[in-house]
Amino acid sequence: MLNISAARRNRGATKELNIAPLIDMVFILLIFFIVTTSFVKETGIDVSRPTAATAVSKDTATILIGIDEDNRVFMDNREIDVRAVRANVERALAENPEGAIVVVADRGSSTGTAIMVMDGCRQAGAKDVSLAASLPEGRN
């Protein structure tokens, strides 16, 4: 049976669209993408990389350590002492245990400083430590 009085009461009522579930889904997706994104931290300096004919591109570098021409060591946009490389790398590896380390040394820096930095990285427990180089011009 048709209830005419109820139909007349609802005739003037407006229908609402509830978008709260849509907003919840958008926030859940946003949180998911923020949590799963790995952020690359820069060294904080601009270096002139040496060239190597056998240089290969590495996409998984998450920890960058820079050495400038004056043998100063930089990590996370700040200067650190070469003796503090181990502690800083241990902290970075605690945040990202599978992180690969790339040492970006200027061509004017000394080999000894680069070796000390790489040694500190290995002592911190890093399994993947690389030295950055660029391809010679014309070999892109």
Q: Which of 1-10, 76-85, 127-136 shows the highest mean pLDDT?
A: 76-85
How much is the pTM?
0.61
pLDDT at 47: 66
55-80, pLDDT tens digit by residue? Answer: 666 666 678 899 988 999 998 888 99
pLDDT of residue 99: 81
Residue 1 has pLDDT above 60, yes or no: no
Determine the average pLDDT of the residues in 113-138.
85
Averaged over 87-94, what is the pLDDT? 91
pLDDT tens-digit map of 12-41: 666 778 888 899 999 999 998 888 776 655
Q: What six digits make up the tokens of 31?
A: 């949180």
CA distance 124 to 101: 11
Domains of the chain (ranges plus CATH)?
A: 4-36 (no CATH), 39-140 (3.30.420.270)
- Measuring CA to CA, which residue among 97, 114, 104 is closest to residue 42? 104
The H-assigned helical ranges of the chain are 4-10, 20-36, 85-95, 111-123
Burial class (CB in 10 A: 0-12, 13-18, 19+), 105: buried
3-state secondary structure of 117: helix
Average pLDDT score over the chain:
80
More confident residue, 49 or 82: 82
Parallel, antiparallel, or unpaired: how do β-strands 129-131 and 100-105 relate?
A: parallel
- Please check the confidence at residue 95 and state whether its pLDDT lies above 60: yes
